[in-house]
Structure 1
């Protein structure tokens, strides 16, 4: 069935019909079957090849939807973990910032145009935050068995601080992109006013 709808068959059929027209006008003579088949074959040979369909990748907005759902799963996990007050405060600041970046609206629309930003958020939600918290929980247990080592709270606080800074840089980049967009629109309106 695919060949029936193919370009080669359609081009060959069009040329074959031209051969039938030549037959009915009397130009093909007694060799009309050879003319029709020959023209069909020529048309099938000169037709452009079929091109494969382009891959259909997921829309960035659907990636954000999946990331939002994963972020809610992460928050449920974080609510069950007992953290020291300083680390808990830093984690709250980080999750509030991520929640603002992932919230539906114009921010997520701007984020959808930034694949690097989506990747950074995805890495933070799927890998960095869970790894930091889980490593702290496991290390804290070992510290109770062997006291006198460096407290794992310091590492957790530093990791959360670095992740918060990374999220702030992402938010600043989105803000700058919107500011440039506004400036570009202003210049456009000014140019239009001068030329109009």
Structure 2
């Protein structure tokens, strides 16, 4: 009897483990029922953004029950889908909402406006980062900050801030990641995961940091 109970408990535990974390696939269709390509999607709390294929399909790894899938039908709207024990989703986009079916019912999710952020050319907010398709710190910085240049030189990616007063041989700014100082973009990039970044601030005038900040300062605040 005890042996049967142990087998039953093991079976339940295995099933729950499979539900708790798994891969999820799906297809997104437009209002005409045709594949919707290049629709941006991501899992809430993760920085990585995905896009549907030319056939409207997508695949997500390590999705847990209770996670929320964000779907962006355009640059101004977003829909929040609670992840259920469904291995494959067929999502239909509408004008004001999207819908998908479960074994029991059809669920409708209304679109919501993406909050507009106060613009500051020297700060990359967490909300802004979530809209960028970035795999690392270099991707986040490249082309997203006015006056910040990133170029490949001497076998490394290097940053320089236009308008800073350089008094050193190096043109790279001081990078501060969670309070730790780095003197090259490559070092800082290797020290931080993009998922841990909360905000990035660029200071062209780094005089408060002395000679170390002569080329400007990039402050990476972490969660």
TM-score normalised over the length of structure 1:
0.28
More strand by share: 2
Structure number with larger C-alpha Rg: 1
Which structure exhibits the higher relative contact order, with contacts defined as CA atoms closer than 8 Å and separated by 6 or more residues? 1
- Larger proportion of helix: 1
